[in-house]
Amino acid sequence: MKRRYFGTDGVRGRFGEEPISPGFATRLGSALVAVLGGRPVIAIGRDTRASGPVLEEALARGITSAGGDVILLGVIPTPGVAAFVVANRLNAGAVISASHNPPDDNGIKFFSGAGFKLPDEDELRIEGMLEETRTPATEPGRVSSNQDAIGQYVAHAIRSLPSGFRLDSLKIAVDCANGAASDATPLALKKLGAEAHVFHASPDGRNINADCGSTVAAEISRLTKETGAQVGLSHDGDADRLLLCDETGDPLDGDEMLAIAGLDLLQRGELPQKTIVATVMSNLGLDEVLEDAGGKVVRSAVGDRYVLEAMRAGGYILGGEQSGHMIFLRHGTTGDGLVSALQILRLMRESGRTLAALRKVLRKYPQAQRDLAVRSKPPLEELADVQSAVHAAESALAPRGRVLVRYSGTEPKVRVLLEGRDAALLSQHADLIAGTLRESIGA
């Protein structure tokens, strides 16, 4: 069966349009309790969108009407919800957020009691129960609030560092995206003694991700240069992603962070099976640098949930995406922008090297990417003209190149990625494939 509502990162869409409505959120909460069984205790956290409190109330109503208890965490990064669930041995967690999407969007995603995103089969079971009519529980659940969830999360993140570790005198520019990290990341850096220059940390419900955050690399680049910071740090709306800038203002992507962290663990002898996990979107240069050091890269489908599945299946502890989702499995159960930042900052301090020096370990292959908005998502394998364009590109880029065309799991877009040695050839074939997609599906 194919999931109808859940994408790679929960249910997501424009608020007020199905499925992101209070009514749907209530049904979703009730269905979650039915799948969990018994009288579960579920934590709910959210980002700073104006629609968050409305969806929070609706989701809590659905959970309690079915007999579940709710603990409201308020505005908190997504990884903070997962950490809270694990630390307090709850049955599940829910996050109301659309991550890096525009302010008018929102979404709902769930974590299991172990702190991991629910597997596909559980999301399918929830979807199967959405249309069922259920009698309300004879004893409705209760709603309570936790006022120290941010403090608990910051303490959890700092525990990922060696005891006594400090960031004294390190000058850091911080872009909080007017999102869920607006309190947490500045607090963590302050506790560690860093000189943090904090920007976009005044959420008003409408400015989350607005010309700021990890999807707007130019902003953290500007802030890093203007403040003379030694490093720039930027989150997305729910702070499960990280974008770093070196001291020159040049942004690093997730592949560079994976290379830095992976080589460090490999050299320490702390990388199980000498392997890290990346997605099919990651640069081929990542494979080469790990292989040259005696390690390897395992590839997963796009989405941090699939990175994590591959990590757990293989017994690996480090994985991530080009987008800046990084999973340090020894320190958490999901992508965590703050923990990831602290781990890279630790490497800077311990090595005595700048970020510009550390990033040189990765020699990237040229890439050409095209993102096109779509009105529908017909199976790509059934589009003969598109497949012909893809095969032509694959032949032209052989033997050391690749072509990837896929639909986004979180947005109405089709994404095209070509990678190889010849940048001009990549661009030519990327444009040809994009043009064919426009003709075939109106992209």
Q: Which residues are catalytic?
A: 99
* Cα(31)–Cα(125) distance, integer angstroms: 8
**Which three-class secondary structure state does DSSP give residue 114?**
coil
DSSP conformation class of 66: T
DSSP string, 85-107: HHHTT-SEEEEE--TTS-TTEEE
**Which three-class secondary structure state does DSSP give residue 75?**
strand
- Asked whether 84 and 334 are in contact (CB, 8 A), the reply is no
Starting from the edge strand earliest in sequence, which strands make up the sheet with 231-234, in order?
195-199, 171-175, 231-234, 243-245, 251-252
- Asked whether 179 and 238 are in contact (CB, 8 A), the reply is yes
- Residue reference for tokens 């409190």: 53
**Which three-class secondary structure state does DSSP give residue 416?**
strand
Closest CA relative to residue 284, chosen from 267, 299, 274, 295: 299
- Asked whether 82 and 89 are in contact (CB, 8 A), the reply is no
Cβ-count burial 11-31 (b if 16+ within 10 Å, e if not):
bbbebeeebbbbebbbbbbbb
* Cα(353)–Cα(357) distance, integer angstroms: 6
- Asked whether 179 and 48 are in contact (CB, 8 A), the reply is yes
Q: For residue 340, give the H/E element and its range.
A: helix 337-351
Q: Give how far Cα 48 sits from Cα of 78, 179, 237, 246, 412, Å.
A: 12, 5, 8, 28, 23
* Cα(431)–Cα(435) distance, integer angstroms: 6
- Asked whether 192 and 154 are in contact (CB, 8 A), the reply is no
Q: For residue 253, give the H/E element and its range.
A: none
* Cα(389)–Cα(265) distance, integer angstroms: 40
